[in-house]
Amino acid sequence: MYKAFLIKYAEIAIKGKNRYLFEDALVRNISEHLEKVEGTFHVRKENGRIYVETEGEYDYDETVAALQKVFGIVGICPVVLVEDEGFESLAREVVSYVDTVYPDKHFTFKVDARRARKNYPMTSMEINAAVGEKILEAFPETKVDVHHPQVMIHIEIRPMINIYSTEIPGPGGMPLGTAGKAMLLLSGGIDSPVAGYMIAKRGVTIEATYFHAPPYTSERAKQKVIDLAKKVAEYAGAIKLHVVNFTDVQLHIYEKCPHEDLTIIMRRYMMKIAEHFANEGKCLGLITGESIGQVASQTMQSLAVTNEVCHMPVYRPLIAMDKQDIVTIAEKIDTYETSILPYEDCCTIFVAKHPVTKPNLKHIVKSEQRLGEEMEALVQKAIENTETMIVEAE
Amino acid sequence: MEAYLDNSATTRCSSKAAALMMKLLTEDYGNPSSMHHKGVVAEDYITDAAKKIAKTLKVQEKEICFTSGGTESNNLAIVGAARANQRAGKHIITSSIEHPSVSAVMAYLEENGFEVTCLPVDAYGVISLEDLKQAIRPDTILVSLMQINNEIGAVEPVSEAGALVKQMNPKTLFHVDAIQAYGKMQINPKKMNVDLLSVSGHKIHGPKGSGFLYIREKTKLLPIINGGGQQKGMRSGTENVPAIAGLGVAAEEIYTGFDGKITHMYELREHFITEAEKIPGVSVNGHKDRTNAPHIVSVSVEGVRAEVLLHALEEKQVYVSAGSACSSNKPAVSRTLKAIGLARSLLDSTVRFSFCAENTMDEIDYALEQMRTIIPMLQKYTRH
């Protein structure tokens, strides 16, 4: 029955002169997300409101699901838009709306009218009372409850009159493409896709780097990362993914350095390589899924030593989150099932039995000196042999 | 060069079988249950396939029940026999090295009130007849054994076991999982006292989704798939005619020139074992002589993880399995390798090479050449 959706957005509304930039981005993003849904949609901006209007047949559930993946949207209200043809006509429309949307009439309600167009002949209070009466008349089983109504019927007098009573939550955040670009270090684990999602939610465009170590990591492990990128892309848009062949770098570290330092040194090189691609792609920062104390390489000491090689800011949105909270988000964005597939990633291959948990920067740097001049060439080779692909949502 | 040495996971489908299947999918596509001519034509293909298969086993064509493959055959045999005979007893005997399509079914029956005795195996993966004799009781309704183990190629004494089962308790049914054995051994269910015998099509150059269960005449068995009553009610559902016909062709082909093929595979195996064992840290599990199956070699490599070796070989177009590819890609510890008492450190370092008659000595040499360079390289970076 709904032919339109009223899109609510929160934070954008408080922006100053740049507001139109954010709104335009949101309109653009909504249109893009709806391209994959069957049906014809028109997205338009009107006095601080965004409407999605449909033309002909469309799939309601798919439309809502698509809108729920557009960052910046706070609420999605399926709305009925009617021409202003006087109060009697409006009352009829509302009664018919209630009849269709609520087959069971045993509920309490409240009418909440607002006039964006102040020249309407009745005040908001008058509309509330009059429409409420009409509803009670038509459906005697219903009751008015002005404090805790089960159904809140919104009537907004705008150029067209808006009637709606449900608000489906959107993902929140800021419209994609309004905050620059960052490079995500993506592994096959639970955390990094969530980290990417969270930063993208603030409007940031995402690129990603994955470290592949054949034959120690399998083709399936790589496919798993591509699949994760696809899931994140459902929210974050197409992701440029760099697949770095890391085997020779890793083996060289393994050969030359004390084994308890392996993970830290490896992560420092991952940061360096990711930063290389980040610079190439004009990214403004790196993103990792690190969380304090989760594993040996994520103690504050380890993070400090890893961080030391980076020249750009490293965003760690999960830094203070517990594992269970991260899992909850992973489940919500549907990356969890993929993340727990049992393929080894390059971080777990050469883990020492007792990796250092409190590394000392001077010690690590000294340890790294054993890598010699060949290391530069190996890193260069890894960069040159990187496979870059664009991963789009399915 | 490419060397596909994972033929116990699956084989290339025979071109003749594939061509016939194409014809059945696009031209003779009738439903064998249809009354009209197209139905009759389709039915003829099934009869023809059953005849071809029956001939390879020296049994009657009506004793062949087509299924979707080895797993379904094993399920039908075990669940069907258990349900049909539970009034006579609830005791079942099997071995500790069965494929999951048997062992998981046994676990299911155990949860449902049956008692299952699991026979141990020796270091070569072979059961002892004495153990079997001790295990058989008056209430034993079923003995289920595999003929060739899928991971190490151990050959079980099923012929002797069959005789023993029938001597101890003539009412006990004897099921043989011959999924790795059909096409690699001459099998005569009647002589071997076998009541039920499972076969899979795609292990013998037939199509995936094909297989059959030999059900000896008058065997008490209940179906597990009920419906329209096809295949004498034993397996309802419209027959997969193309797959069945393809399986018939593959069955006929695999037993053509049989002795030569077996000799060829043994020669490949022996050469492979001799050369592989020269590589430091490499050892072969199971019997190395011709008491083992001709097509399976289980190889343990000290200090190298199976998955890593597999991927390193894959880079050189040599395809093998880690443990048993058939039991999905979960890196779980192999029950068979545990049962033969393989050292803990080698459980995760064992790969399976499996041949077919189409493999050449050149392919084996190529695989060996790759192993000689890859294994020492990987051993250098052993995880400590």
Residues of chain B with Cβ-Cβ distance to A340 below 8 Å are none
Q: Residues A386, A242: contact at Cβ < 8 Å?
A: yes
Q: In this predicted structure, what is the pLDDT of residue A346?
A: 58
* Percentage of chain A exceeding pLDDT 70: 97
| Amino acid at position A354, single letter | H
Residues of chain A with Cβ-Cβ distance to B380 below 8 Å are 255
* Percentage of chain B exceeding pLDDT 70: 97
pLDDT at B329 over 50: no
The string of pLDDT tens digits covering residues B124-143 is: 999 999 999 999 999 999 99
Alpha-carbon distance of B260 to B263, in angstroms, equals 5
> Is any Cβ of chain B less than 8 angstroms from the Cβ of A248?
no
Q: What are phi and psi of A26, to 5 degrees?
A: -65, -45
> Which of B304, B305, B308 should one mutate to test binding to chain A, selecting the residue with the greatest count of A CBs within 10 A?
B308
- Search chain B and give the residue with CA nearest A255: B381
Alpha helices in chain B (DSSP H): 15-26, 37-57, 70-85, 100-111, 129-135, 158-168, 241-254, 258-276, 306-315, 335-339, 344-347, 361-380
In A194-233, the residues whose Cβ lies within 8 Å of chain B are: 214-220
pLDDT at B306 over 50: yes
Contact A214 B311 (CB under 8 A): yes
Average pLDDT, chain A: 93
Q: Residues B59, B258: contact at Cβ < 8 Å?
A: no
Token pair, residue A17, equals: 């002169």
Helix or strand (DSSP H, E) at A310: none
> Is any Cβ of chain A less than 8 angstroms from the Cβ of B382?
no
Q: In this predicted structure, what is the pLDDT of residue A354?
A: 81
> Is any Cβ of chain A less than 8 angstroms from the Cβ of B135?
no
- Search chain A and give the residue with CA nearest B384: A352
Alpha-carbon distance of A200 to A177, in angstroms, equals 9
For residues B301-305, average pLDDT: 92
- Search chain B and give the residue with CA nearest A253: B381
> Which of B371, B381, B382, B384 should one mutate to test binding to chain A, selecting the residue with the greatest count of A CBs within 10 A?
B381
Contact B381 A251 (CB under 8 A): yes
Q: In this predicted structure, what is the pLDDT of residue B328?
A: 41
Q: At what angle do helices A247-256 and A262-280 cross, to 10 degrees?
A: 150
Alpha-carbon distance of A288 to A294, in angstroms, equals 13
Alpha-carbon distance of A175 to A17, in angstroms, equals 16
Q: Is the dihedral of CA B184, B187, B193, B197 positive or negative?
A: positive
In B322-341, the residues whose Cβ lies within 8 Å of chain A are: 329-331
Q: In this predicted structure, what is the pLDDT of residue B323?
A: 64
Q: Residues A82, A152: contact at Cβ < 8 Å?
A: no
pLDDT at B324 over 80: no
- Search chain A and give the residue with CA nearest B380: A255
| Amino acid at position B27, single letter | E
> Which of B307, B330, B375, B378 should one mutate to test binding to chain A, selecting the residue with the greatest count of A CBs within 10 A?
B307
Q: With bands split at pLDDT 50, 70 and 90, how would you rate the model's confidence at A97?
A: very high
Among B312, B331, B383, beta carbon nearest to A342: B331
The string of pLDDT tens digits covering residues A265-312 is: 999 999 999 999 999 999 999 999 999 988 888 999 999 999 999 999
Q: Residues A35, A69: contact at Cβ < 8 Å?
A: no
Q: In this predicted structure, what is the pLDDT of residue A24?
A: 92
In A323-342, the residues whose Cβ lies within 8 Å of chain B are: 342
The string of pLDDT tens digits covering residues B145-160 is: 999 999 999 999 999 9
Residues of chain A with Cβ-Cβ distance to B307 below 8 Å are 218, 344
Q: What are phi and psi of B248, to 5 degrees?
A: -60, -45
Residues facing residue B301 across a β-bridge: B282
Q: Give all strands of the β-sheet with B64-67 in edge-to-edge order.
A: B64-67, B211-215, B196-200, B173-177, B140-146, B91-95, B115-119
Residues of chain B with Cβ-Cβ distance to A214 below 8 Å are 311, 315
Strand duo B91-95 + A161-164: pairing:
unpaired
- Search chain B and give the residue with CA nearest A345: B308
Token pair, residue A73, equals: 């949207």
pLDDT at B326 over 50: no
The string of pLDDT tens digits covering residues B168-227 is: 999 999 999 999 999 999 999 999 999 999 999 999 999 999 999 999 999 999 999 999
Cα A341 to its chain centre, rounded Å, is 22
The DSSP annotation for B215-249 comes to E-TT-----SS-SS-TGGGTS-S---HHHHHHHHH
For residues A355-376, average pLDDT: 93
Chain B closest-CA separation from residue A248 CA (Å): 12
Token pair, residue B123, equals: 């270091």
The string of pLDDT tens digits covering residues B245-266 is: 999 999 999 999 999 999 999 9
* Percentage of chain B exceeding pLDDT 90: 93
DSSP 3-state of A144: strand
Residues of chain A with Cβ-Cβ distance to B309 below 8 Å are 215
- Search chain A and give the residue with CA nearest B328: A342
- Provide the ipTM: 0.77
Q: Which DSSP state fits A159?
A: S
| Amino acid at position A357, single letter | T
Chain B closest-CA separation from residue A215 CA (Å): 5
> Is any Cβ of chain A less than 8 angstroms from the Cβ of B318?
no
Helix or strand (DSSP H, E) at A10: none
Q: In this predicted structure, what is the pLDDT of residue A348?
A: 62
B326 noted as active-site residue: yes
